[in-house]
Structure 1
Amino acid sequence: MSGRSATDALRLLIIGPPGAGKGTQAALLAEAYGIPTISTGDIFRSNVKDETELGLVAKSYMDSGDVVPDSLTNSLVRSRLAEDDVKGGFLLDGYPRTPQQVDELDDILAGHDAQLDAVIELVADPELVVARLLKRAGEQGRADDTEEVIRYRLTVYSQQTEPLIAVYADRGLIVTVDAIGTVDDVTERIEVALAGRGIAPLEKA
């Protein structure tokens, strides 16, 4: 299959549990497909740094340890998706997280006469993920990342994402990829899975 032209818009979403290497894959895929990665974490940090009105409100929640409410997160994402660099597409990482955010994303995309092309779901055996995160915690000195905490995070992730996966599966958008293996192996699996849906990386110059 020939590669995509840089003018072909491509809108992807990547979902995966903690420890699945989602951030690493998102960066590699953004480069391969010529689209920016958009993560809620980056959006929050950028708005806080620039002291935007929304950023200052978000900071007040973050400083007090509270979760940033859906309404504010939605506003920040809506603002980000209106910027010029996403006209050719994007790779969303960390949003949506709730069914309400799925509805909001639908509305945002409809406003741009656009829709998602695929949802990449990284899957991994929970025991392997726990072992990977415990190893990383030891290497990086993260004393708070205990097995109990890691298993709790995985449970919360599963509970949060099951409804989202169901919605996107009903729409035929889910591309499931095994996240266990080398970084290159997982990237190749994702590219093969997307190619099966007619989505190819950018043409190499």
Structure 2
Amino acid sequence: MKLILLGPPGAGKGTQAKRLEDKYGFVQLSTGDMLRAAVAAGTEVGKIAETIMARGELVPNEVVVGIISDRIEQPDVSRGYILDGFPRNVAQAEALDQMLAGKGMELDAVVELGVDDGILLQRIEGRAAETAGGPRADDNAEALAKRLKVYHEQTAPLIAYYKSRGKLKTVDGMKEMDEVTRQIEAALGLLKKKGSWLSRLTGK
């Protein structure tokens, strides 16, 4: 199963991805980790990325997609994967779709964790206030507000993009952690008998 978890900073994407990885064997693929691994391994695309990063420049979409392309061909992702940190905008989503289509593949689903920005801000303010006092809470809330602004400007348009392609599934990300997990599993059809979904993944 090939997945993307979509949602703003603080929505719990990392937590839910780890739960899916632990329970179903879907590998969480972080673009940052993949870049570092490709550079360390000295792959062709890794060498290109290393040269670009050495100049202090952002790695272009086509290079990141090339690294993802190499990574998803490795045997440890045979049961599926969850992309973490990519795509961040529609241009990246289009590049990803083109790469997958070239392999005769496509995403199975994009799961949106629907959350309330105001409540996210309240949560981080509360956590910061408990650990580091009032001023620190203000700093954290301000930083999150900026990240949320970037998300809504650049990444949120992916919701409409994937909805138009019939890939989007939305769950209530404001529920308790276990309930969010249950909703994701239900949306992906993973609450059926284990043999059923495993057969779909392995072809056995």
Structure 2-normalised TM-score? Answer: 0.79
State the distance in 2 between where 1:56 and 1:17 align: 32
State the distance in 1 between where 2:130 and 2:42 align: 34
- CA offsets 1:146-196 (integer angstroms, 9 cap, x no match): 32221110010111123211111011211111112332121112112223x
**Aligned pair 1:125/2:116, yes or no?**
yes
**Aligned pair 1:182/2:176, yes or no?**
yes
Could you tell me which of 3, 25, 41 is aligned with 1:34?
A: 25
State the distance in 2 between where 1:55 and 1:123 align: 35
**Aligned pair 1:25/2:25, yes or no?**
no
**Which residues of 2 match residues 8-23 of structure 1 at below 5 A?**
10-23=1-14
- Point out the structure with the larger helix share: 2
- Structure 2 residue ranges without an equivalent (≥5): 196-204
Could you tell me which of 147, 166, 179 is aligned with 1:153?
A: 147
Identity across the alignment (%): 42
Q: If you compute each CA radius of gyration, which structure gives the higher value, 1 or 2?
A: 2
Match of 1:101 in 2: 92
Match of 1:172 in 2: 166
Q: 1:136 to 1:100 in 2, by over 3 A?
A: same
Could you tell me which of 69, 72, 83 is aligned with 1:81?
A: 72
Given that 2:169 and 2:187 are in contact with CA atoms closer than 8 Å, whether structure 1 keeps it comes out as: yes
State the distance in 2 between where 1:107 and 1:56 align: 23
Deviation at 1:52, TM superposition (A): 4.7
State the distance in 2 between where 1:36 and 1:108 align: 19
Given that 2:52 and 2:59 are in contact with CA atoms closer than 8 Å, whether structure 1 keeps it comes out as: yes
**Aligned pair 1:116/2:107, yes or no?**
yes
Given that 1:191 and 1:201 are in contact with CA atoms closer than 8 Å, whether structure 2 keeps it comes out as: no
What is the letter of the counterpart of residue 104 of structure 2?
D
SS in structure 2 opposite 1:146? helix
- Structure 1 residue ranges without an equivalent (≥5): 1-9
- CA offsets 1:12-55 (integer angstroms, 9 cap, x no match): 11111111111010010123332211121221232344455544
State the distance in 1 between where 2:61 and 2:131 align: 32
Given that 1:34 and 1:202 are in contact with CA atoms closer than 8 Å, whether structure 2 keeps it comes out as: no
What is the letter of the counterpart of residue 157 of structure 2?
P
State the distance in 1 between where 2:60 and 2:76 align: 26
Given that 1:121 and 1:174 are in contact with CA atoms closer than 8 Å, whether structure 2 keeps it comes out as: yes
- The alignment of Structure 1 onto Structure 2 pairs a total of residues equal to 193
Match of 2:200 in 1: none
What is the letter of the counterpart of residue 177 of structure 2?
V
State the distance in 2 between where 1:90 and 1:16 align: 17
RMSD: 3.0
SS in structure 1 opposite 2:11? coil
State the distance in 2 between where 1:137 and 1:80 align: 37
